[in-house]
Amino acid sequence: MSERLEVRRDGVALARLRTVRNKLWVTYSEEVLDTVPAGTPILSCSLPVRSTRTDASAWARGLLPEGQHLAQLAAVADVAASDTFGMLARYGRDIAGAFEIIAEGDPDDISIPSYHLYLTEELDTEIAGLATTPLAIHDDSELSLAGLQDKMVAVRVGNNWGRPVHGYPSTHILKVDPPDRPGIVDAEAACLRLARAVDLTNIEVERCRLGDRETLIVSRFDRVELDDGTLRRLHQEDLLQALGVDPSARGGRSKYQQAGTPGPPSWWHAADLIDSYADDARNQLHQLVRIIAYTTATANADCHAKNIAFLLEDGRIRLAPLYDTVPTALWPGLRDTAALTVADVSPMSAVTVEHISSEARRWGAPMDDARGAVIDLLEELLDAVHVAKHDAVIELVTANVRRLLDGAAA
């Protein structure tokens, strides 16, 4: 195995990764150092450009799956699950965002990306095997996706689906219903349709049955098809990566806010990043308020720091489209405690319009502006709730919106 990994965009090496004393360090290329101002976020807000090496361990680990899926993929790669360098050397060519991570060496030794078109029965088999083969990994797969859910990536080719080979950019994510909580993919599809109706996401949603599994197909917001038919990767990172927090810390619970503590992650930390790196911070903070209101209305207690992301381009950030919007309140066994508290309020069912406004005021947003943004979003949800096409979601969102609006009126 090479001693260093190259971080490439469009075939150009912008940085190198190397393991030293059990940490993964990034060093920017001379070209970047000569052309990009110091302090500019290129890979991550947590890894601004500087001439000295920077600890990139937390950002890099955020590119990999979690829990049992991580352990299973590590076994396939014949490396330890804690060996982030080894995992990215094996799976780093098609990751979230715009970069490819490839072992440094002779370019002629790197396999050419391509895809294998699925036959219908092949795709059914892949879906059926996700519990034991995370991300439907094959010997020629060089891809990774964060998270715990059973899912895989695929390439849309006309009306067909393909399997990415040697890091070919995937275009869609396929998620299957968990056996212990049937109906989640239906509910998530409903909430994504609703988020699209109120301009909080641009993700396209499809529902189908593959094999014997209910499946949700969502378009990747970090991939775009150009006019000539080629695919371009857009750079993004989740909030935990942007804050430089290790996803494995606190027993894998670092993506959740610790109630009553000032440390990351929190909505305030997301707002602080926007203040620091967004061109239109005022509009982006307005959008963040709408996201909190939407999350409250849809009762998504699992909106944690890996389910909020930023798009990065030319050293500036903006909020990414919403994804992973599951109305957890529909499953009594799931948490009611908000993954990120709102004005220190933890139970989702206790959050009010005034709490959301107070949370925004902590960021420096005027109370009246924040309150107006919340009220507008809630009224938009009432007008659009029918697009969810899911009775339980419509009932849940309608009841929550009316609770919030009635409380605001009182």
Sorted by where each begins, the domain ranges of the chain are 4-109, 114-223, 235-409
Produce one character per residue of 57-91: b if its CB has 16 or more CB atoms within 10 Å, e if not.
Answer: bbbbbbbbbbeebbebbbeebebebebbbbbbbbb
What is the structure's pLDDT at 1?
54
Taking only the tens place, the pLDDT of each residue in 185-242 is 999 999 999 999 999 999 999 999 998 899 999 999 999 998 888 899 999 999 999 9
User: Does 333 score more than 90 pLDDT?
Assistant: no
Q: Mean pLDDT, to the nearest integer, of 286-312?
A: 97
Determine what percent of the chain is predicted with pLDDT higher than 70: 99
- Residue 106 banded pLDDT, cuts 50, 70, 90: low
d(CA 101, CA 163): 19
Alpha-carbon gap, residue 334 to 303, rounded angstroms: 13
pLDDT of residue 229: 83
Query: Measuring CA to CA, which residue among 357, 369, 298 is closest to residue 330?
Result: 298
Angle at CA of residue 386, ends 383 and 387, nearest 5°: 105
Compute the mean pLDDT over every residue in the chain, rounded to the nearest whole number. 94
Q: What confidence score (pLDDT) does residue 107 get?
A: 65
Rg of the chain (C-alpha set) = 21
Q: What is the topology classification, in CATH, of domain 235-409?
A: 1.10.1070
- Name the residue among 162, 179, 193, 236 with its Cα closest to residue 325: 193
Residue 2 has a pLDDT of: 63
Helix or strand run (H / E) with residue 186: helix 184-197
* Contact present, 291 and 322 (Cβ < 8 Å): yes
Residue 263 confidence class, pLDDT cut points 50, 70, 90: confident
Query: pLDDT exceeding 90 applies to what percent of the chain?
Result: 87
pLDDT reported for residue 366: 79
User: pLDDT, tens digit, for every residue of 10-68?
Assistant: 989 999 999 998 899 999 999 999 999 999 999 999 999 999 999 999 999 999 999 99
- Among 259, 325, 241, which Cα is nearest to 291's? 325
To the nearest 10 degrees (0 to 180), the angle between helices 281-297 and 353-362 is 150
State the alpha helices, DSSP H only, in 83-119. 84-91
pLDDT score of 174 more than 80: yes
Residue 261 has a pLDDT of 81
Query: Which is more confident, 398 or 104?
Result: 398
pTM over 0.85: yes
The pLDDT value recorded for residue 104 is 86
Cα torsion 121, 71, 58, 25 to 10°: value is -100
> Does 307 score more than 60 pLDDT?
yes
- Identify whether the C-beta of residue 363 lies closer than 8 Å to the C-beta of residue 268: yes
Residue 142 has pLDDT above 60, yes or no: yes
Answer for the pair 171, 156: CB distance below 8 angstroms, yes or no.
Answer: yes
pLDDT tens digits for range 149-170:
899 999 999 999 999 999 999 9
**pLDDT at residue 108 is higher than 80:** no
Q: What is the mean pLDDT of residues 118-142?
A: 94
